[in-house]
Structure 1
């Protein structure tokens, strides 16, 4: 379950029936004081969206928070940015 240095996670949710085209990006960056921050960026595809940064004491805590956020977004219908959404054809 180690996801060290895996890079940012890019997710998207596209549903033409609801006019929905959203993105969600998660990344971990080190802080100056030895901790780590989870950087979230989300919004409608084609816009800059909104950002939020949450700081943790250790990189392990930040990685656990990132995995939790990623799982929650996948449960809500987001998928990897490179993957095709299987619901589009249905």
Structure 2
């Protein structure tokens, strides 16, 4: 489940970045927070944080989402 897909662009600084946050169950009953980021148009990098419960994973995902919004990332428009 994709929690958020964010973009941050600034043509003057030649900046075009994306950040995607997803929460997904693992095969072992845990829940993972998947973070993917990079320059728009690239595959980017991925980080996985495994939590014991869905509540912990949601908390970690929301914390990351708030941090990125404070840094200027905006939600992308859904088509």
Match of 1:47 in 2: 42
* Superposition map of 1:7-86 within 5 A: 7-82=2-77
Which structure: greater strand fraction?
Answer: 2
Once superposed, what is the RMSD of the aligned Cα atoms? 1.4
Unmatched tracts of structure 2, length 5 or more: none
The answer for unaligned runs of 5 or more in structure 1 is 84-90
TM-score w.r.t. length of structure 2 = 0.93
- Detail structure 1 runs of 4+ shifted over 2 Å in the superposition: none
Q: Which has the larger radius of gyration?
A: 1
The TM-score, its normalising length taken from structure 1, stands at 0.82
